[in-house]
Amino acid sequence: MKEIEHVKRVEEEVSREVERSRKRAERIVSSASTEREKIIENELKSAESRKEEMLEKAKKEAEREKERILKDAETETKETETKGKKNIPKAVDMILKNFKE
């Protein structure tokens, strides 16, 4: 009889140990899941930050390029205007010459 009681106690102890192990495993899985979510969240924030930095850099580069193009266009316009003004006397003389003929 004592042996049966001993076996029952051992079975109960094993059953409790299995239950403790199952709960421990659930906590570990839950903790890992939470940690995974934190890692994902941090990576998403990091990616968003890098995206914003890249966009800001691209905007600055585009602004510099726009300024360079505008400056080049302004320089070219002034050069064309200067050449045109230089040619006015010649053009007037040519027109008057043709007009007189």
**Alpha-carbon torsion (64, 65, 68, 73), positive or negative:** negative
| 57-67 average pLDDT score | 97
Question: What residue ranges do the domains of the chain occupy?
Answer: 1-101
Does this model's pTM top 0.85? My answer is: no
With tokens 């969240």, the residue in question is 41
Q: Strand, coil or helix: what is 24?
A: helix
CA distance 62 to 54: 12
Instruction: Indicate if the pLDDT at residue 23 is higher than 90.
Output: yes
Instruction: Indicate if the pLDDT at residue 22 is higher than 70.
Output: yes
